[in-house]
Structure 1
Amino acid sequence: MRKNIAIIMGGYSSEVNISLKSGNVVFNHLDREKYNPFRVHILKEKWVALDDDDVEYEINKNNFSFLKGITNTIFDCVFNAIHGNPGENGMILSYLELLGIKHTSAPFYQMALTFNKRDTLSVVKEYGIKTAISVYLNQGDSIDTDQIIAKVGLPCFIKPNNAGSSYGISKAYTKEEVLQGIETAYKEDTAILIESFLDGTEVSVGVIEYKGAIKVLPITEIVSENDFFDYEAKYEGKSQEITPARISLEEKNSVETVAKKVYKVLNMSGFSRAEYILINGEPHFLEINTVPGMTLESILPQQAKEAGISLHELFDNSIQMALK
């Protein structure tokens, strides 16, 4: 019997439109002989399931089902394609877990932890993973730019602590730009991270659960036309994403070892894509994305293709891992 699969997409953050694109790619590549896929829009104003004619049916939040005529559809599994809040930060996953509904992401606590950049860095540092030097601020804290610059140096990066797709991130070269960057980051989150600039080769590494084992996908080298890998570079063609990365075998092995270690240390399952900077051959961890983009142009699907894994296989594997 075919399984009913809810592909949740949208969300409450600035990444809503990217999530809708990712969710639709998943919807279009699921095997109709094995699954009955449904697009489910999780938006601030409504939770609705869409049929093939885009007719909307309200989701019953008591049990995450929907009624079409006299037919009540209950889901066997949820494919999480929500970038940001509430999909990537674990909120909706805790709700699904309370209802006993299986999903394709890591458990809610791991998702909440990895969505918080500061807390993730705190964990991986304990296991000897190299990172940038950082300063953490909450909105309302006094700001001593001289002290910040003395610790992290210039240039530096200012990031919202809980946000994705490079929203709210800026690179500062001067004291004035640090203050401007802090103001920009606070528009996305009430907590921010200021990090030292790491001058090296940037790589993106997909690590997934595939056929019951942890698999490191082919590494992607990021060459941005902009000053860093910002929103334009990620989504508007202002970067080269070279898979496999132009790095030595020794560097490749080092990155793969660290990436697998980070995945295990953070107790991950399902999808992940993490960013590293290679400095003198040593990977420095930046951050991890647990609901990476799934559009045809996104990095993880590119890596899967290089590994000989089609989108059909990639998404089917994710659902099968969740169901087991």
Structure 2
Amino acid sequence: MNVAVVMGGYSDESVISLRSGQLILNHLDQSKYKTYEVHILLDEWYCLIEGVKYPINKADFSFTKDNQVVHFDVISNTIHGTPGEDGHMQAYWELLGIPYTGCGYYQSSLTFNKRDTLSVLSKFDIPKANSIYVTKGDAIDGHQIVAELGLPFFVKPNQSGSSLGVSMVSTLDDLPKALDFAFAEDNDILIESYLNGREVSVGVMNYKGEVIVMGITEILSQNEFFDYEAKYLGKSDEITPARISKEIEDRVIATAKKVYISLGMSGFSRTDFIIMNDIPYFIEINTNPGLSPQSIFPQQAAHAQRAMSDLLDNEIELALKRKPIWKK
């Protein structure tokens, strides 16, 4: 079976995606699959074999080597950010009829949009921060924001991952810089109230037809919050399992599963919560969680004593069972 491990992307998260892709290549069972390293970058798409780049034919997502056209039976998608976590690549693969891992194009597009995700989850009574939605060019009244959300508050790009463009605003003097930082990533931003509590990250997946929680990791950031440096540059302590009571653990597990099911998810995911007054408040969901050695999901898999090769097998089985929308 030809498996394309697709990595890269068009955003600043591409560096993390390349690390995630290498982990998948290292853990896919070579006795079952013939794996190919495929890079999707802004300026070129190619399959990398022994240091040689073979261009991807965008008409059918194949490549040619030694006058032989190679097609893929299934795609293991590990692009973080656009275009592989926001539904664009998923919709393209759907049209080509190529199975791919992770959630479908609609769920990818929905969950990459923070505002729309919060809107959907509000119908399912999922606790969340209070928020204000702003588009570039809108008049922004800092005093009105403080009156509604209090201080401090967070300014976030509406569509961005890895905490890129996120700032904590402690005084109104910080607001202009935070707005510029967020608008550099997206034309739409979300301003959210500060939740003073314990941050946890929860790995959830569909394993053999059952929604399971891989683990709960407690996040202790050395910075003001769990930003890019804390996530990827060693500026945080990540404790698995989280130091919480059994009662709160059960509540977090139930809420994480409810989020996963309510959003119609499939495949790997990582959902972040702030536990405040013993209640888990939803922050965001990542539908293509980082799989680099520093990432949380592989740490949780190791703690749960689940082999990544087995989990990746499960992902591929799910992908092969799911038919493209137009084939149903």
Q: What range describes the TM-score normalised by the shorter chain of this pair?
A: over 0.9
* Residue aligning to 1:45: 43
Q: Which runs of 5+ in 2 are unaligned?
A: 322-328
Residue 272 (structure 2) pairs with residue 294 (structure 1)? no
The residue correspondences of 1:188-203 to structure 2 (distance < 5 A) are: 188-203=185-200
The residue correspondences of 1:1-324 to structure 2 (distance < 5 A) are: 3-51=1-49, 53-324=50-321
* SS of the residue 2:154 aligns to: strand
Q: Which amino acid aligns with 2:25?
A: F
CA distance in 2, matches of 1:244, 1:274: 15
CA distance in 1, matches of 2:233, 2:118: 29
CA distance in 2, matches of 1:273, 1:203: 10
* SS of the residue 2:199 aligns to: strand
Number of equivalenced pairs: 321
The CA deviation string for residues 44-77 of structure 1, in whole angstroms up to 9 with x for no partner, is 11110111x1211011111110110121111011
Q: Which amino acid aligns with 1:47?
A: W
CA distance in 2, matches of 1:206, 1:54: 34
CA distance in 2, matches of 1:166, 1:83: 12
Shift of 1:41: 0.4
- Given the two structures, how large is their TM-score scaled by the length of structure 2? 0.97
Shift of 1:100: 0.4
CA distance in 1, matches of 2:121, 2:102: 20
Shift of 1:29: 1.2
Maintained 8 Å contact 1:145/1:179: no
* SS of the residue 1:131 aligns to: coil
Q: Which amino acid aligns with 2:45?
A: W
Shift of 1:307: 1.1
Q: Which amino acid aligns with 1:37?
A: T
Q: Which runs of 5+ in 1 are unaligned?
A: none
Q: Which amino acid aligns with 2:78?
A: A
CA distance in 2, matches of 1:24, 1:316: 16
CA distance in 2, matches of 1:124, 1:313: 31
Shift of 1:305: 1.0
Shift of 1:87: 0.5
How much identity, in percent, do the aligned residues show?
53
CA distance in 2, matches of 1:149, 1:69: 63
Shift of 1:232: 0.9
Shift of 1:112: 0.2
CA distance in 2, matches of 1:24, 1:134: 37
CA distance in 1, matches of 2:314, 2:82: 25
Maintained 8 Å contact 1:38/1:50: yes
Q: Which amino acid aligns with 1:19?
A: S
